Copies of this chain bind each other. A is one copy, B any other.
């Protein structure tokens, strides 16, 4: 079982930022990724619908030989909370690893959080932070355009539109003197440079996808499930919509062209 793959899923492409981190810190592991690109975005669906979709995503991953599941999707993570969609194997969402990292990182107890309107409105990150330490101050701000800017390739460090939007979103948070900022959406690491240019080097950025990958690493060590493979692991990608559309855009999230086979699959409607 040690050489089974790590299963990762997301409503679309954002979860690829977790895959990128897994490839870096766990180069010998196989990854099976499912992106539900035909039903993206999950953020505007009801809780019941999101849960049903997520269960279908997990069922799909379980048809393959996997040893762990990462729900690399902010919406699914907030709906599942501290529960699990796969009680028979290690499972994590993206919120709790990020929140733990932020609480361990902050020096002044002031944590900023940016995310989609649905994520910020849910208050879920704030609740999770306060559950660890009720003294923490949390400042959140929704960034409704970021996902669309990333998905449409407005990601160059000097992109004027993205810089203008980022300033609008980040300035109210920076006024509160946070020293740690959670990128509470797996799309945001793609424009990390732009965000860092605005908040400055004194503010530590916590990427939710990357923290989930680190959490997976620790979890596999703890359960003695790390691969003993000597060669590099391989990535396999499944998407519920067009393969070519995925291949065109995935590079923005991975930081390089798609490094693995891509298949189209259907989960029904």
Name A residues whose Cβ lies closer than 8 Å to a Cβ of B: 37-38, 40, 44-46, 49, 117, 144-145, 148-149, 152, 154, 160-161, 164-165, 168, 241-242, 245, 269
Interface of A is mostly: loop
Verify B46–A241 contact, CB threshold 8 A: yes
Other-chain residue from B161, B165, B241, B242 in contact with A168 (beta carbon distance below 8 A): B161
Verify A149–B145 contact, CB threshold 8 A: yes
Other-chain residue from B149, B164, B245 in contact with A160 (beta carbon distance below 8 A): B164
Provide 6 A-B residue pairs closer than 8 Å at the C-beta atoms, listed in order of the A residue.
A37-B44, A44-B241, A45-B241, A145-B152, A160-B164, A161-B161
Closest to A160 in B: B164
A145 surroundings in chain B (CB, below 8 A): 145, 148-149, 152, 154, 161
A241 surroundings in chain B (CB, below 8 A): 44-46
Closest to A151 in B: B144
User: How far is A37 from B49 in the complex, measured between Cα atoms in Å?
Assistant: 14
CB A75 to nearest CB in B, in angstroms, measures: 14
CB A172 to nearest CB in B, in angstroms, measures: 16
User: How far is A242 from B47 in the complex, measured between Cα atoms in Å?
Assistant: 12
User: How far is A46 from B269 in the complex, measured between Cα atoms in Å?
Assistant: 12
User: How far is A117 from B117 in the complex, measured between Cα atoms in Å?
Assistant: 24
Verify A161–B165 contact, CB threshold 8 A: yes
CB A37 to nearest CB in B, in angstroms, measures: 8
A149 surroundings in chain B (CB, below 8 A): 145
